[in-house]
Structure 1
Amino acid sequence: MVGAAESSLIATATYTMLLVVVPVILLTLFIAWRYRASNRNATYAPKWAHSTAIEVVVWIIPAIIILYLGILTWKSTHELDPYKPLESSVKPINVEVVALDWKWLFIYPDLGVASVNQLAFPVGTPVNFRITSDSVMNSFFIPELGGQIYAMAGMQTKLHLLTDHAGDYAGISANYSGKGFSDMKFRALAMSNADFDAWLKQVRNAPEALSMDVYTGVARPSEKVAVRYFSTVDPKLFSNIVAKYNYGNSVVGANCVTKG
């Protein structure tokens, strides 16, 4: 839904700009041919300097196009604000996302489960993401579903997505984050409600629980990480990940104030 709207915006803007680009290219070729040195029938006007008609065309038409694109972009970007919840009669599902080296951790706080490098959600259900990083700055991106948004340590960003079509979508990191960056991928599975319930049952039957101690091992840098499930999750895990950087920043700030 969001991805389709963004694709439509890009296509509309491109076609609109071609209204200027294509005529300019064609006129350039025509003028080069019409006023070639061998064409003795072309008008020779060495003292010509101004044409009101040409000035009107080259200024008014681009100005109208720029005004149209400005209004279109302003309206569309506000409608597609990643922080703006999507309107739906279906109750959204909440997912907390943690960017790690070099994998993605997905926590379902309302369901009490978590997964690594696999994101699942029901078709037709809005997904409300809260995103952070427990490493360097990264970028969360599911190209077919919507725009990317950054994941930063000590901060929370938001993203809202919705799809009406079941599918297995590619999720990637869109910000270089070290040697394991190229394999920092995940799959986003849009399922029917029945299939999602089956997936959730599978995760809840997983033998591992994601406590803070287990998370320490999960967070260690690793590459080409396989999908991993956790049947239970420490309910404070996400907030603790965010808070540990904020605590460090507040301590540094307090020290600076004291020294000053």
Structure 2
Amino acid sequence: MPAMRPLSLFVATFVGFAAPCFFASLSSVADQPQPLLRPHDRVAIVGGTVVERMQHSGQLEAQMQTRRPEWKLTVRNLGWSGDDVHGYARKRFDSPKGGYARLLADIELANPTVVLLAYGFAEASDGEDAVARFSEGLKRLVDHLKQANRRVILITPFALPGYKTENYQALIAQTRQITQAIGSETDSPVASIQWEPSGEQLTADGLCPNEAGFAVLANELSDALVGGDSQRPSHELREQIVRKNELFFNQYRPQNETYLLLFRKHEQGNNAAEIAEFTPLIQSADEKIWQIARP
């Protein structure tokens, strides 16, 4: 009867055989960055024209929901065409400071756990003076959000060839560097977008992604935000997301705002009560999105 091998020798042999595979597996996992979003996050996407146009496409949310249907993400688009980090485009009949207050109020309405900030586009197109104010403004906004216990993820801007601003490429590069620097300074993760859009991925004026461009952008952002493999979201899912986005848009940017909330509210201000009635409709739309996204 053959002698039994010592247990210590067996273990050593097994470990010696398995270790390369085990550590190779660990290395493979370690090479994959952790997603920046978390299950059940409430996400507010904030920025200018590119962000506002996202709501009509639905590509980004559709990609994220399809990759991570079990996460049940809630996404609110707070893009505003021409907006910069100071909120100037959001002001109503008040001073530019009022625009920044409106920006913070918009984010508060969305009640997010995490805010995606996509600024630097308008600053680069507005020239050197705007870029010179960008760092201070972005730092102020990030600080305000963190004081309100919101997580912040910064998204680097990318060049859009339709802009004719002098030294535009250099200014975009500066806003990218500033975004990275503020991310490091405030301990905020940065989704660094490397996309260089081709003509087929842009609107005719070259100022914004078209549907093909938003699909590419959605994939690159989703890699950083939720991880997983690229998916092909259904047309039904995208339609439902666009419908939900429209409901939320009408809630946070209602028509006839002057009559509902501002200096003419004495005429029709009683109708402002209907704004809150959008909330259950939006929540129902979220539920439908989660149902459709399930495999």
TM-score by length of 2: 0.23
Considering fraction of residues, name the structure with more strand. Answer: 1
TM-score by length of 1: 0.25
Please identify the structure whose Cα radius of gyration is greater: 1
Considering fraction of residues, name the structure with more helix. Answer: 2
